[in-house]
Amino acid sequence: MGPLLKLKPELKRWYTITTDYVFGEGLLTATKDLLAEAGATHVGNSYHSLDETQFSSYLNNARAANPDVLLLLNFGGQSTTSLKQAISFGLRDELTLAMAVSSGLEQLRALGPEVLEGVYMGGAYWHTVDTSRNKEFVDAFRGEYGRTPGTLAAQGYEGARMILEGVARAGSQDPEAVIEALEGYTYDALTGPSEIRADDHQLLKDYLLLRGKARAEMADEDDLVEVLSSGQSYKSPSEAGCDALVPLGE
């Protein structure tokens, strides 16, 4: 959400709705840090559990805090449901709605332009990203399957390609050798230059800021969002609490 803060510095008061587990907590901590850095205020947060589908009371709480932005720090079905409920409560007319992690074309298609119009979203991939590798990928995918690739398709492709590259570099299929070969590996991902950080194996790749289009602005049925910016913002290994890599189980 850093780019959104730069793009719209007038958005000063932020309210968050967060899933109460480690992923949500990580997003919440990062959001608070970003807001403090940008001089914006975190006016409140509501936690919800992983199985809730009724968000109306949190939306009322959010509204009462009078924020400029309501930011959803949940994922998947819960972000779909909570965003729809926020729209049904008319919140889009009163404030800016944002969703930190959208899960790609499939989710946004299900939401549709009536819900998405004007909503800001973070996303790992979008098929209109302007790199030559992405154009090749999208053309090849459409040729093979007759539809537009979403985030899951892109991630599956990139993941498989990365492992093959690791095997080729290591000259072996031994997992330890592949891991070592990929440490510090830099490559052109679909979203642009990327790196696997040697210290903690964090993948450093571009993350996108998207904004939902109105139905009238859409060129085709998959043209649901506009890519506003693309960039990288990662905590260093020590900030992220990953000073030492400890293999699982040791």
Partner 1 sequence: MDLSLLFAQFLNGIVIGMVYFLLAFGLSLIFGVQNFVNFAHGSLFLIGAYLGITMAGRLGWFWPAIVIVPLLVGGIGMAIEWLLLRRLYAAGHIYQILGTYGLALVIVETVILVWGPFTQSVDAPDLLRGVFRIGSAVVPVYRVFVVAATGLIGLILWFIIQRSRFGLQLKASAESSEMSAALGVNVPSVFRRTFALGAATAGIAGVLAAPMQGVTPGSGDEIMGIAFAVVVIGGLTTISGVFLASLAVGLVQSIGIVFWPEGGSILVYVLMALVLLTTRHELASA
Q: Which is nearer to partner 1, 45 or 96 (CB)?
A: 45
Verify binding: residue 33, partner 1, rule CB under 8 A.
Answer: no
Query: 118 and 111 in contact (C-beta within 8 Å)?
Result: no
Minimal distance in Å, beta carbon 234 to partner 1? 29
Sole binder of partner 1 in the list 29, 56, 172, 232 (CB under 8 A): 56
Report if residue 90 touches partner 1, rule: CB under 8 A: yes
For 180, residues 6+ apart whose C-beta sits below 8 A from its C-beta are: 170
* 23/47 with CB nearer partner 1: 47
| Element of type H or E holding 129 | none
9 counts as binding partner 1 under rule CB under 8 A: no
Shortest Cβ 214–partner 1 spacing (Å): 16
Rg (CA), the chain: 19
The structure tokens 């049925």 sit at: 221
Binding-site member from 34, 38, 47, 211 for partner 1 (CB under 8 A): 47
Query: Does 60 participate in binding partner 1 (rule CB under 8 A)?
Result: yes
- Structure tokens of 54? 């009724």
Nearer to partner 1, 64 or 245 (CB): 64
DSSP 197-244: -TTT--EE--EEEEEEPPGGG-SSTT--EEEEEEE-----TTTTT-SS
Which of 9, 37, 57, 233 is close enough to bind partner 1 by CB under 8 A? Answer: 57
The answer to whether 58 contacts partner 1 (rule: CB under 8 A) is yes
DSSP 91: G
Residue 80 interacts with partner 1 (CB under 8 A): yes or no: yes
